[in-house]
Structure 1
Amino acid sequence: MSAILEQQADITKVLSFLQKWDHGNKLERSRMLNTFLCQNTGKTCLELELEFAQVASLFLARLTTWMRLTYMFGTYLGLQLKAIRVFLSASSSHRYIIEFLEDGGVLTLLEILDQTQTKEEAKTEALRLLQTVSNAGHKHKELICEMHGVRVITECLAKSKIDETQDTAQALLESLAHGNPKYLNQVYQGLIALMPCTVPKAQQLVLQTLCIVQSKVRTAHPSIVEPLLNMLRSLRLDVQNEAIKLILDLREHEVKPALLHGLVALLRPAKERPQQDQLLEDPEAIKMAKSFPVFVQQAAAAKAIRLLAQSSQELSQELLSLRVVHHLLYAMGNQEHADAQIQASLALEHFVRTHPIIEEHVQRGMGSALFAAFMDKAEALHMNMDDMQAEVIQSNKVNVSEGQGGSMSSAGH
């Protein structure tokens, strides 16, 4: 008898709570949500049902409805999303997730992300909820993708300036790529489309995710080559490193020839100096003037070439057939960017030491004295080179290419 009375008391308490919610204004509801979060965050589905006398779904439905009706105005939106996440992230919460989806929850979350006026905190919470839904099963992943979720999420990642929002968007995209064969290619294409974004942190996250997704995709799309090579212009070393890592991952794919040709071509860049009026208008340009992106790209290309050549004798031979030695000598004469000289020297050193037959051709292109310094310490060569020697190197006509039986050919100055 006491158990029945206790149960009735619990039901009365919950009904009173729901009635208070239904008649409360937005301020009263916000107070109720703060109390709810303090008392229920981290609870399991079973514990939430005990708290709400087996009708917790009634409160979740109210939360979802209020969010759907008010999200455009941002009324306590972050608080609403956190409260909904208590239900959706609870242990054994599949039932709550289904109810949330049936109430149009996914579409509302995507609309929240798509709104320019939505605050970053709310976007992060919406992304977390979508990730919870995505992690619940492949059908839920498919639903998000069917509602153009990949486009919305990638745009959110590209436009956000907050690390937490960017990291959460990246984790969600990675989740959508796992166990979702029907829409894996859509995620892959969405990431490629995001590569030209200009936010360095977003660039790094996109490249990291592409490395993961590319391993799941059987073929590499040709459209990945140009934006990937452009990533080498980044002044951020972490972005450069991620781009080079992806280039190395793509060496077994059909885009390899385009990548190799592109990398070798970057060793002879067209000089892009900032205009004087741009320097005056943009203080940042003054700081970057000594490190033009085109020369940064040249240095990164030389580094990528060295790592590719070191990874495979076959790749090393392919690069030689593209006259890579001639182009590396040109990059070594770049007196405007020391890192380009260093990376080109290290790359050329690899080819000289692993293909001794080309040594005399390189020596002829550099001159005996400079070649001796090069063989002694390649990474320090730029400090031992004067302007005239640099000009001689850049004007070299060495043509070292793969021939029959490994023979090489060259032309002198």
Structure 2
Amino acid sequence: MTSVKEQAAISRLLSFLQDWDNAGKVARSHILNNFIETNQGKTAPELEQEFSQGASLFLVRLTTWLRLTYMTGSRLDKLLRSIGIFLSAVSSNRYLVEFLEVGGALTLLEILALKEIEEEDKKESIKLLQVISNSGRKYKELICESYGVRSIAEFLAKSKSEETQEEVQVLLDSLIHSNPKYQNQVYKGLIALLPCASPKAQQLSLQTLRTAQSIIGTTHPGIVDSVLKVLRTMHLEVQYE
């Protein structure tokens, strides 16, 4: 039999979810602000306690709203950070699986290619992809199977923010490790970045290529010509690498 305390907690959860369902864009932004402030750094059990064992009911609403709005050019930073609280929580594998089952990884990759979306929002998307990649080999493979290496590399080449580009490097470095099925794909993606117009992207690609080369062992025939062309650059930081 449900106790009075449990009934009250369930009632609060249902009221919270109803508030979200009935809220407009501004009200939802306030709800997300409060959620981030209250729950940053919590573990999965703590989130379940906060939501009366119904945290997944809020996560599915966040994921649904993301899929409905990401192509409209709306700001996504608070929404992505809120999803990140679930995905990065200790013992959060259940939330990760729920997010991926509805195409979460593909949505994050598609965000990187959309011109309408702010650079800051794309950086948050990269951070979530880092969380997914760092969760294990099968998750790295899922990103790669979703044409992730190409999307991530193209974003690195086009990004205008060095801070964001450095986050992309962290993601590519994660994808090259413990990913034998697709490590060659990541390696070739890094080589393909060398002729790009962004000196920062060239520098970061060369840094990651050193790690990739030690993992792959065999040298790709296309790397020599690409590196020789990069040596002609006027940017000293690229020449140094």
- TM bin, normalised by shorter chain, reads over 0.9
How far residue 165 of structure 1 moved from its aligned partner, in angstroms, is 1.2
Q: Which residue of 1 aligns with 2:34?
A: 35
How far residue 75 of structure 1 moved from its aligned partner, in angstroms, is 2.2
How far residue 136 of structure 1 moved from its aligned partner, in angstroms, is 0.4
Q: Which residue of 1 aligns with 2:18?
A: 19
Q: How does 1:151-170 map to 2 (within 5 A)?
A: 151-170=150-169
Distance 1:82 1:74 in 2: 17
Q: Which residue of 1 aligns with 2:60?
A: 61
SS state at 1:219 partner:
coil
TM-score normalised by length of structure 2: 0.97
Distance 1:41 1:127 in 2: 18
Structure 2 unaligned blocks of 5 or more: none
Distance 2:240 2:142 in 1: 34
How far residue 37 of structure 1 moved from its aligned partner, in angstroms, is 0.6
Paired residues of 1:61 and 1:103 also in contact (CA < 8 A): no
Paired residues of 1:30 and 1:76 also in contact (CA < 8 A): no
Q: Which residue of 2 aligns with 1:72?
A: 71
Q: Which residue of 2 aligns with 1:343?
A: none
Q: Which residue of 2 aligns with 1:84?
A: 83
Distance 2:112 2:149 in 1: 11
Q: Which residue of 1 aligns with 2:115?
A: 116
How far residue 74 of structure 1 moved from its aligned partner, in angstroms, is 2.7
How far residue 135 of structure 1 moved from its aligned partner, in angstroms, is 0.5
- Which consecutive segments of 4 or more residues in structure 1 shift more than 4 A? none
- How many residues of Structure 1 are paired with residues of Structure 2 in the alignment? 241
Distance 1:160 1:228 in 2: 22
Distance 1:235 1:91 in 2: 46
SS state at 1:76 partner:
coil
Q: Which residue of 1 aligns with 2:176?
A: 177
Distance 2:49 2:74 in 1: 29
How far residue 171 of structure 1 moved from its aligned partner, in angstroms, is 0.7
1:346-385 CA distance string (max 9 Å, x none): xxxxxxxxxxxxxxxxxxxxxxxxxxxxxxxxxxxxxxxx
Q: Which residue of 1 aligns with 2:94?
A: 95
How far residue 230 of structure 1 moved from its aligned partner, in angstroms, is 1.4
Q: How does 1:6-405 map to 2 (within 5 A)?
A: 6-242=5-241
Distance 1:229 1:117 in 2: 36
**Structure number with higher relative contact order (C-alpha < 8 Å, ≥ 6 residues apart):** 2
Distance 2:123 2:95 in 1: 20
How far residue 28 of structure 1 moved from its aligned partner, in angstroms, is 0.8
Distance 2:75 2:159 in 1: 20
Distance 2:117 2:205 in 1: 23
How far residue 218 of structure 1 moved from its aligned partner, in angstroms, is 2.4
Distance 1:192 1:236 in 2: 18
Letter in 2 for 1:196: P
Distance 1:74 1:26 in 2: 13
Distance 2:228 2:180 in 1: 28
How far residue 76 of structure 1 moved from its aligned partner, in angstroms, is 3.1
Distance 1:172 1:193 in 2: 17
1:297-334 CA distance string (max 9 Å, x none): xxxxxxxxxxxxxxxxxxxxxxxxxxxxxxxxxxxxxx
Distance 2:210 2:154 in 1: 19
Q: Taking every aligned residue pair, what percent have the same amino acid on both sides? A: 59
How far residue 54 of structure 1 moved from its aligned partner, in angstroms, is 0.5
How far residue 158 of structure 1 moved from its aligned partner, in angstroms, is 0.3
Paired residues of 1:204 and 1:239 also in contact (CA < 8 A): yes
Paired residues of 1:195 and 1:203 also in contact (CA < 8 A): yes
CA RMSD across the alignment: 1.2
Distance 1:187 1:222 in 2: 15
How far residue 236 of structure 1 moved from its aligned partner, in angstroms, is 2.4
How far residue 61 of structure 1 moved from its aligned partner, in angstroms, is 0.4
